[in-house]
């Protein structure tokens, strides 16, 4: 039996956002139904950045992602986030593939946010605000474009060049560089920054807004004014991860928000165990920390397509 080796180019050519959204939503459904397994992330924190080990299993697939987050990498011409995924046969443990996981990470994160918006944003949402114009902003836009009729997209980043590059990359959309406050004045807001101090003020958020809080994915990170959590319906992808390293981690540690105040997990909402948006004026927040089962679901999608297509590097493992 051979092990496939899929590099960044291989994986990117096999990724399709519509398919990724479908795979991620199924993984969330499997999680809620007890068909998936996923221990919490294990963090290795260094002075320059951190590494995370993320094992998980869904029906028919298992594996682990080894991913880093090094914020200073942009100045070195490297991605902030890079990842490798080992994809295994759950029946035998055989390593079916070793895949570059950088784009898989970006795609599944964008997909998870769009799925959250599907259930939590107002049905008449047409404006998307993106805070942070790094790599993740691209897949946030791509994923929301699959599920929503986006008539206007507003982007804020302190780096004007990054905003301009994003705008040029999506010429089919109406995108404009905006101030932070103007960007937050949107139907759906995605925050994708490495902030460790809250910058999104509660008073900027109008009734009916849905926020995907994505940047806070490690202990000490925080993007939203804690008072905003108190007046919003807060959903998480995984309660343990969110309490330890998600958007709620700092407010929980400081006694400004309680874990018990979390309304639901996204998985519970996907299967209908909990209701999503209850009224047009509610402010909803999805605290996204990133799930290993999402990575494995997309790795399975990529592996299955590569196996059918053939022509990729493979080596005998045993």
Active site residue 258: no
List pLDDT tens digits, range 249-287.
999 999 999 999 999 999 999 999 999 998 999 999 999
Domain ranges in the chain are 2-105+292-316, 122-287
Q: Residue 49's closest CA among 194, 191, 159? A: 194
The dihedral through the CA atoms of 317, 302, 58, 50 has a sign that is positive
pLDDT at 267: 98
Q: Which CATH architecture has domain 2-105+292-316?
A: 2-Layer Sandwich (3.30)
Report whether CATH 3.40.50.720 matches the domain 122-287. yes
pLDDT at 94: 96
List pLDDT tens digits, range 11-31.
999 999 999 999 999 999 999
pLDDT at 136: 94
Options 22, 37, 65, 274, the catalytic residue:
65
Show the tokens assigned to 201: 């003020």
The model's pTM is 0.95
pLDDT at 315: 85
Q: Residue 49's closest CA among 79, 71, 81, 75? A: 71
Segments of the chain scoring below 70 in pLDDT: none
Q: Residue 67's closest CA among 288, 289, 222, 265? A: 289
């Amino acid at each position: 039996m051979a092990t496939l080796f899929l590099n960044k180019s291989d994986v990117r050519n096999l990724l399709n956002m519509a398919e990724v959204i479908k795979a991620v939503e199924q993984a969330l459904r499997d999680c809620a139904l007890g068909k998936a397994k996923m221990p919490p992330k294990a963090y290795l924190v260094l002075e320059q950045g951190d590494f995370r080990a993320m094992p998980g299993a869904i029906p028919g697939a298992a594996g682990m992602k080894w991913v880093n987050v090094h914020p200073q990498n942009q100045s070195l011409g490297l991605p902030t986030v890079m990842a490798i995924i080992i994809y295994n046969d759950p029946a035998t443990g055989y390593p079916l593939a070793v895949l570059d996981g950088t784009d898989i990470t970006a795609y599944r994160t964008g997909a998870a946010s769009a799925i959250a918006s599907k259930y939590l944003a107002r049905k008449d949402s047409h404006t998307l605000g993106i805070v942070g114009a790094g790599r993740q902003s691209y897949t946030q836009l791509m994923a929301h474009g699959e599920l929503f009729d986006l008539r206007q997209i507003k982007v804020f980043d302190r780096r004007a060049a990054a905003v301009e590059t994003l705008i040029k990359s999506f010429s089919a959309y109406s995108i404009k560089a905006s101030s932070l406050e103007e960007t937050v004045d949107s139907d759906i807001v995605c925050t994708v920054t490495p902030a460790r101090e809250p910058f999104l003020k509660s008073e900027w958020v109008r009734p009916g807004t849905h926020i995907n809080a994505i940047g806070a994915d490690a202990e000490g990170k925080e993007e939203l004014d804690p008072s905003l959590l108190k007046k919003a319906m807060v959903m998480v992808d995984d309660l343990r991860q969110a309490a330890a390293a998600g958007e709620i981690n700092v407010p929980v540690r400081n006694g400004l928000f309680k874990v018990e105040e979390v309304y639901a997990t996204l998985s519970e909402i996907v299967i209908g165990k909990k209701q999503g948006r209850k009224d047009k004026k509610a402010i909803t927040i999805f605290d996204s920390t990133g799930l290993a089962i999402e990575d494995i679901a997309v790795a399975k999608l990529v592996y299955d397509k590569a196996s059918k297509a053939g022509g990729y590097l493979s080596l005998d493992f045993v």
